[in-house]
Amino acid sequence: MTRIHRAAIRILLLFAIVFAHTQMISAQTLQTRPKPANQPAAAAKDTKATGGSSAAATVLPTEETMNSWLLNMFGYDPSITWKVVDIRPSELPALAEVTVILTNSQGSNQNRLLISSDGKHAISGEVLPFGAKPFEDARVKLEKGVSGPAKGPAKAAVTIVEFSDMQCPHCAKAAPTVDQLLALEPDAHFVFQNFPLPAHNWAEKAAGYVDCVGRASNEAVWKFIDKTFSDQTNITEANVDEKLKAIAAASGVKADEIAACAVKPETKARVEASVALGKSVDVSGTPAIFINGRQVTGGAPAETLKKIVDFAANLEKGDK
């Protein structure tokens, strides 16, 4: 994904990000532009919550305050719309974390902001793990939490985890690179985790299908994922059930059973748990690829990813 501690106040980076991702899928429905909020009143409504293990209270901005700020930042361009999807304490002490989806004619992009406790600054950019073993925390979380379809030896020196969205065009584009990497690294263990993005109108349903196909057949699920990515541009919110059932049948599982499974509460709970796991390791977009806990860009070439896998394997050997 995806994607983590260049702490500089770079607010206008958000604007650049939206226009940089020109290959993002076009937004199916633009968010309604929020009405200007009364900023003093909004500030008065801001609440406090304890963030993580920090003893200091984290001041959380209200959605009203965020919408007012976004209006001031981007209101000059009527083609830009936004949606605040999450406001919570950050793992960093005394900072709030806000997830915002920005949309323009070229598509949508999910962005993360860190808000200072005094409510006067927003920080945009990557927040990088630090320490003698900077990726160990994420690695442990992933080892304990992954539950998606997997292939490769279970007791491998290197585990590769991908958080993906079946409607994400960048995920479809990265899929051949991941396949190439796994062909180059047959001794690695690979896990596919669902991470449907809120901006995509059929991604969550597709995630349910992936979950159910994977539980029915570990062989069929990889066919289902590949076929869905291949047919991605032909799938819409209106025909998604028809398309996914056909792909499930072509992948070798019983389509009606998969469709029924995909809408069950327990399936939704597993998808939500996968999203929560991703968020716990700072996934904010897709594809997000982790190599022994190290997050790397999904747009990296297979040769670069292979170097990181080989390096991680050598580090693992050195620790034993």
pLDDT single digits (tens) 130-183: 899 999 999 999 999 999 999 999 999 999 999 999 999 999 999 999 999 999
**Residues 110 and 178 both lie in one domain:** no
pLDDT confidence of residue 35: 42
Is 241 among the domain residues? Answer: yes
**Residues 70 and 192 both lie in one domain:** no
pLDDT confidence of residue 130: 85
**Residues 147 and 113 both lie in one domain:** no
pLDDT confidence of residue 56: 56
pLDDT confidence of residue 23: 35
**Rounded Cα gap, residues 185 and 307, in angstroms:** 10
**Residues 34 and 171 both lie in one domain:** no
**Residues 99 and 141 both lie in one domain:** no
Is 55 among the domain residues? Answer: yes
pLDDT confidence of residue 275: 97
pLDDT confidence of residue 24: 34
Is 8 among the domain residues? Answer: no
pLDDT, averaged in runs of 10, over the chain (320 residues): 38 38 34 40 43 60 93 88 93 90 86 90 82 95 98 96 97 97 97 96 98 98 98 97 98 98 98 97 93 90 95 85
**Residues 33 and 143 both lie in one domain:** no
Instruction: Report the CATH number that the domain containing residue 206 is assigned in CATH.
Output: 3.40.30.10
Task: Give the range of the structural domain holding residue 87, as residue numbers without chain letter.
Answer: 13-124
pLDDT confidence of residue 45: 43
pTM: 0.72
Is 287 among the domain residues? Answer: yes
pLDDT confidence of residue 132: 92
